[in-house]
Amino acid sequence: MIETLKKILFSTRLMSVLFIAFATAMAFGTFIESWYSTETARIWIYNATWFETMMVFFVINFAGNIKRYGLLKWKKWPVLLLHISWVLIIIGAFVTRYISYEGMMPIREGETEKIFYSDKTYVTLMVDGEKDGQPARRTFEDHAIFTPEAKKTSLPWNSNFAEQDFNIAFVSFQQGAKEGVIEDPNGTDFLKIVEAGDGNRHDHFLESGSVTSIHNILFALNEETPGAININTTVNPYTINTPFEGDFMRMADQFQGAVIKDSVQELQLRSLYNVGGMQFVIPELPMKGTNGIVAVPEDEKTPETKDALTVQISSGGETKQMTILGTKGLASFSQKQTIGGLDFTLGYGSKVYELPFSVKLNDFIAQKYPGTEKGYASFMSKVTVEDERPFDYDIFMNHVLDHGGYRFFQSSFHPDEKGTVLSVSHDFWGTWITYIGYFLLYIGLMGILFFGNTRFKDLSRSIEKVKAKKALLSLVFLFGSITASLAQQADAASEDSHAHSNTPLTDLQIALEKTTVSPAHAVKFGALVIQDDGGRMKPINTFASELLRKLSFKTKYEGLNPDQVLLSMMLNPALWYNTPFIALDKKGQNDSLRNILGLPSGQRMVRATDFFDASGAYKLAPFLQDAYATTNPNKFQKDFQDIDLRLGLLNRALGGEIIKIFPLLNDENNKWISAVAFRSGKHVIGDSLYANFVKNAVPFYLMSLEKAIVTGDYSSADKLLDAFTQNQNNHGSEVMPAPEKIQAEIFYNQLDIFNKLYR
């Protein structure tokens, strides 16, 4: 019996079944993540008992096969290392999951913190009562994952306290919830007030007969309270009386009025009030309802949005439901409820861990990409570790703090950039066991490839024998193919030369010739630096290459390189609106798009004007609203989005909006602008001489190019390019790339590595 069990556990067939099951589970896990969420995939796949059991069988099989196949021999050391490495990797994963823990530590500048919140969510129940005549408490806790589709928890719990039984059972879970008002005809009057004190919209409900504090300003509804903004809805019309001066603007007709301090005035619904340093709107009439838990609209959800967990507790013949709002990163607890003579407190959210030392945030530094408001290039926390021997340390990307068995990573930061969020990990043994496993895996793979008597070496020797037999035949065949190919190319070149000598130029080719600059000048133009929308400083050659590839799927057009194409666009935008160089993918852009544009099926290249009708209306407009509105677009909608974005890029290039080559003077974020943006009045430049340069330099440069194309003398245009570069060095030196970096990037663009590797 034991021998039979060993054969089953250590068999190759079991290993094959396990690998197939593992691959299938991972595939389904990936689909579940895309269909629902990562948490749902954890519940159904990654954290499931059957998945962990499969990992245990892997360990047993790997360990048993070491003895069964005699791997403890020197000549089989590579295969032995592979088996040991897989065992260690799986064991390391189990240690990480069941012994280690990690979480998040938020700290404000100047503050010291020593607690952090687990990355896992827990359900906690605290039961209070008397035991042997003395107050006592019993606590129950379980790691739990909830999603709208599934849950993973040990609920229901059945236990007792002081010989009194109780039961706690799962009722419901609502993702994205908050305290609000539920409509109830028999309820109390509530008045909705909307404010954005911290930059985000918040809805508050004033209950009739009560006083509510909103950002330290008191509001009273139908309850005269000194020092509060008193609103009365028991009279007609409704009135407002405030202890602050202010004003209001009625949104419907833009009517404006003053709010007089300590004066009863008519309340203006759907009007923006600015009173006491707060802006608020009362959008609707009062409603009757009761306090409860309501869903948070999708467009208002943030990472801090809480979820609602509802459980049912039964004890001493009494049953009640309890609801708690909580989420990851918070430790939330409900008010006590007495059920059957026992006091119950429900908690849902993260567990709180305490460090054996403290961390003080001295300064948080966030660096943005030049010219952007929210494009963060890097962020760093300058901290002091307060222990027996305090020390300072800088935590940033790939610069981790290790201390006392804990690792601190830079995770995120507070929106106002006055606080940091550090990721904290306590996983010494799990990390090292896993690292050793991966190291042995690498050594074992190298051993299989180059050493030992393994199946890989046998296959390698067989391949070498086959190669030797075919070598001579391959050389003969290759020589014949090259000879034939050269002959065909010579014939084709001769025919092509003859054809070109007799074929007149097309209207398009003639028009392009009039706007085609010399390759030498195009090279100088391509080295000019621009600032893209993401704040990256790059040579124009990079943008021109990206533009041409995105629009035509090619690296050249009619023999023109990307820099020549961009200059031609700047010289004659109308020509490129009417040039058929926008590619429609044969597979991507389907024939439905061609039907909408009125083009023949299978037509490859189209013009920008093909997307507009005779009246100038955008043909794709009726389809784009639905395409952009959905979070899960179908193939047709993706095609509409793709071509719309490409047309938008072309329009910005032809209009000159994207040619941001002028640094703004004394801008703290090193923003660069285009001449078009300056002429539109979006930016103000105090230096009139510099303002005149920004406004007129590009048009004058284009005029110089037009003359140079005719005369062949580019000296004037070259001098203007030099002036652009010198101006960038004078006013944008902080973000200006070194000339060597510019040339290196242009060289990289010209190599076109990935396109050549693909071929």
Tens of pLDDT, residue by residue over 15-29, are 788 888 888 999 998
Mean pLDDT of the region 241-264:
92
Whole-number Å distance between alpha carbons of 469 and 463: 10
Whole-number Å distance between alpha carbons of 328 and 339: 28
The tokens for 428 are 């010494």
Q: 589 burial class (0-12, 13-18, 19+ CB within 10 angstroms)? A: buried
* Cβ-contact 228, 243 below 8 angstroms: yes
Tens of pLDDT, residue by residue over 488-546, are 555 544 444 444 445 566 777 888 889 999 999 999 999 999 998 878 899 999 999 99
Instruction: Check whether 306 has a pLDDT greater than 60.
Output: yes
| pLDDT score at 602 | 76
Structure confidence at residue 71 as a pLDDT band (50, 70, 90): confident
Mean pLDDT of the region 708-737:
93
Please give the span between the terminal C-alpha atoms of the chain, in angstroms, as a whole number. Answer: 58
Q: Give the residue among 422, 749, 413 at the shortest CA–CA distance from 555.
A: 749
Compute how many other C-beta atoms are within 10 angstroms of the C-beta atom of residue 108. 14
The residue ranking higher by pLDDT, 710 or 589, is 710
Kindly report the average pLDDT of the chain as a whole number: 85
Mean pLDDT of the region 733-757:
88
Mean pLDDT of the region 629-657:
80
Q: What share of the chain is helix, strand, coil (3-state, %, to 5)?
A: 40, 30, 30
Which residue in this structure is represented by tokens 């949104």?
A: 251
Give the single-character DSSP code of 612: B
Instruction: Check whether 661 has a pLDDT greater than 50.
Output: yes
Whole-number Å distance between alpha carbons of 13 and 388: 57
| pLDDT score at 446 | 86
Whole-number Å distance between alpha carbons of 244 and 457: 87
Mention every residue, 6+ apart, whose C-beta is less than 8 A from residue 36: 147, 149
Continuous H helices in 107-218: none
Mention every residue, 6+ apart, whose C-beta is less than 8 A from residue 195: 201, 202, 204, 214, 215, 278, 279, 280, 281
| pLDDT score at 8 | 62
- Which strand ranges, in their side-by-side order, compose the sheet holding 217-221? 210-214, 217-221, 229-232, 239-241, 265-266
Tens of pLDDT, residue by residue over 389-448, are 999 999 998 899 999 989 999 988 888 889 999 999 999 888 899 999 999 999 988 888
Which residue in this structure is represented by tokens 């955008």?
A: 618
User: Which range, of 66-80, 480-494, 523-537, 646-660, averages the lowest pLDDT?
Assistant: 480-494
Tens of pLDDT, residue by residue over 95-104, are 988 888 899 9
Structure confidence at residue 459 as a pLDDT band (50, 70, 90): low
Tens of pLDDT, residue by residue over 320-353, are 999 999 988 888 888 889 999 899 999 999 999 9
**DSSP assignment string, 497-561:** HHHHHHSPPPHHHHHHHTTPPPHHHHHHHHTSEEE-TTS-EEEHHHHHHHHHHHHHSSS-BTTB-
Instruction: Check whether 477 has a pLDDT greater than 80.
Output: no
- pTM of the predicted model as reported, rounded to 2 decimal places: 0.61
Q: 565 burial class (0-12, 13-18, 19+ CB within 10 angstroms)? A: buried
Structure confidence at residue 695 as a pLDDT band (50, 70, 90): very high
The residue ranking higher by pLDDT, 487 or 280, is 280
Instruction: Check whether 589 has a pLDDT greater than 70.
Output: no
Three-class SS of residue 418? coil
* Cβ-contact 176, 183 below 8 angstroms: no
Mean pLDDT of the region 131-159:
87
| pLDDT score at 373 | 63
Cα separations in angstroms, 462 against 450, 459, 466, 475:
15, 5, 6, 20
Mean pLDDT of the region 738-742:
94
| pLDDT score at 371 | 59
| pLDDT score at 501 | 44
| pLDDT score at 469 | 64
The tokens for 583 are 């590619």
Instruction: Check whether 635 has a pLDDT greater than 90.
Output: no
Mean pLDDT of the region 194-208:
81
| pLDDT score at 530 | 94
| Strand positions, DSSP E, 369-453 | 376-386, 391-396, 401-403, 406-413, 419-426
